[in-house]
Chains A and B, each alone.
Chain A
Amino acid sequence: MTEANVAELSAEESFRAEALRWIPNVARYARLLTRNQDDAEDLAQETYLRAFQNWATFRLGTDCRKWLFTICRNLYLNGRRRAGRVVLTDDPEAEVGKVSELYWRAVESGIDNLFDRIDVGPALEGGLQAMAPEYREALVLVDMEGHTYADAASALGVPVGTVRSRLFRARRLLQEVMIECARDMGLATDRVNASQRGAEEA
C-alpha cells in the first residue's frame, strides 16, 4: 500500500468516525430548513458529499457537527430563492422586553399549566414549520441541537446578538401558536384576575 493510499484510508476512517455519526442531526437540520422530506434527504446527501470532498480542510478536534451544519446551511441558502423574504427585526433588547408578554397572556387565560394538560408538540411543530427560516434555524441550533449562542452565531455567520434576538423571537412565535392552540381547544378561561402577580396598579 502506497503512502498515498494510507493517507487516503486514514482520511476515510476519520470521515467515517467524525462525520457520519452526525447524519441524524444533519438530516433533522436539513428537514427543518427545507420543510420537505425529499428535499431534506437531497440536502443531507449533498452536504455529506461536499463534506467528503473537502474533508482535508476540516481540522480534526474541532466541532464536526457545526462544520457540517455550516455546509448544509450554505447549500440550502445557495439553492433557495430569496424572493419574498420577511423583514427581520434583529433587536435583542426589544425581544427581551417582550419575554413576559406571552407568559402573562397564558396566566390570564388560565393556561399557564398548559404543559401538564395537553401534548403541545403538534402545535409547536406547526409553528416551527410556519416561521421564517432565519428564526427557525436559530431555534433549531440552540434549542434542539444544544448550541451555545456563540456557536450558533458562528454557524450562521451572524453576531451573537442577532442569534439571541432571532431565538427569542422564534420562541415567542411558538408560544403564540401554543396559546392559540389552547384557545382553539377551549382550554382558555379568560381569568384576567388570575394573574397572581401581587398588587396590580391602575
Chain B
Amino acid sequence: MTYTYYTYGGIACDEVIRAVWDFLDGEIDAAKKQRIVTHLESCDHCRDQYTFEGSFLRAVSRLLERHEEAVSLRERIETELTKHGFSKVK
C-alpha cells in the first residue's frame, strides 16, 4: 500500500512522519521543528498521526504512576547506610 504525500512548510509528509518521535522527544533542531509545525498546521493526515503518537507517549509516561515504590524503602536504605557510617536523621 502506498500513499500520496504532500509538501507543506517546505517538508513532505514522509519526512515529517520519519521525524515524528524525534519531534515529540524534542530531539530535532529549531529550523526543522518549525518546518514540521508549519506542515502539521496544513496536513490533516500527518496531524492525526502526531496526535496518535503523542497520546501513546503520554500513556507510556503515565506508567510511572504504576511503579510507586514501597514507602518503607527509604527507611530500609537509610538503615542499611547507617551500618556503613551514615547518620540517620530522626
**A-B CB proximity, top 7 nearest:** A27-B69, A115-B55, A28-B67, A198-B4, A199-B4, A197-B3, A143-B60
Q: Which of A76-84, A121-129, A182-190 contacts B (4 or more CB under 8 A)?
A: A121-129
Q: Does the CB pair B25–A115 fall under 8 Å? A: no
Query: Which chain B residue has the least Cβ–Cβ distance from A146?
Result: B61
Interface residues of B in 53-90 (CB under 8 A from A): 53, 55-64, 66-70, 73-74, 76-78, 80-81, 84-87, 89
A177 vs chain B, min Cβ distance (A): 11
Give CA–CA (A27, B73) in the complex, Å.
Answer: 8
Interface residues of A in 153-202 (CB under 8 A from B): 164, 167-168, 171, 174-175, 178, 195-201
| Mask of A94-121 contacts with B, CB within 8 angstroms, 1/0 | 0011011001101000001001000011
Interface residues of A in 9-58 (CB under 8 A from B): 9, 12, 15-16, 20, 23-24, 27-28, 31-32, 37, 41, 44-45, 48-49, 52-53
Q: Does A148 contact B (CB under 8 A)?
A: yes
Give the interface of A toward B (CB within 8 A). 8-9, 12, 15-16, 20, 23-24, 27-28, 31-32, 37, 41, 44-45, 48-49, 52-53, 96-97, 99-100, 103-104, 106, 112, 115, 120-121, 124-125, 128, 139, 142-144, 148-149, 164, 167-168, 171, 174-175, 178, 195-201
Q: Does the CB pair A16–B89 fall under 8 Å? A: yes
Q: Does B1 contact A (CB under 8 A)?
A: yes
Give CA–CA (A27, B68) in the complex, Å.
Answer: 8
B49 contact from A20, A49, A100, A124, Cβ within 8 A: A100
Residue numbers in A under 8 Å from B53 (CB-CB): 99, 103
Q: Does B8 contact A (CB under 8 A)?
A: no
| B contacts with A: majority SS | helix
Counting contact residues on chain B (CB < 8 A from A), the size range is 35 or more
Give the interface of B toward A (CB within 8 A). 1-4, 6, 17-18, 20-22, 25-27, 45, 48-49, 52-53, 55-64, 66-70, 73-74, 76-78, 80-81, 84-87, 89
A143 vs chain B, min Cβ distance (A): 5
A139 contact from B2, B55, B60, B67, Cβ within 8 A: B60
Give CA–CA (A32, B63) in the complex, Å.
Answer: 11
Q: Does the CB pair A121–B63 fall under 8 Å? A: yes
A49 contact from B17, B57, B80, Cβ within 8 A: B80
Known: A45-B80, A115-B55. Is A171-B69 also a contact (CB below 8 A)? no
Q: Does the CB pair B81–A115 fall under 8 Å? A: no
B61 contact from A52, A106, A144, Cβ within 8 A: A144
Known: A144-B60, A174-B60. Is A198-B84 also a contact (CB below 8 A)? no
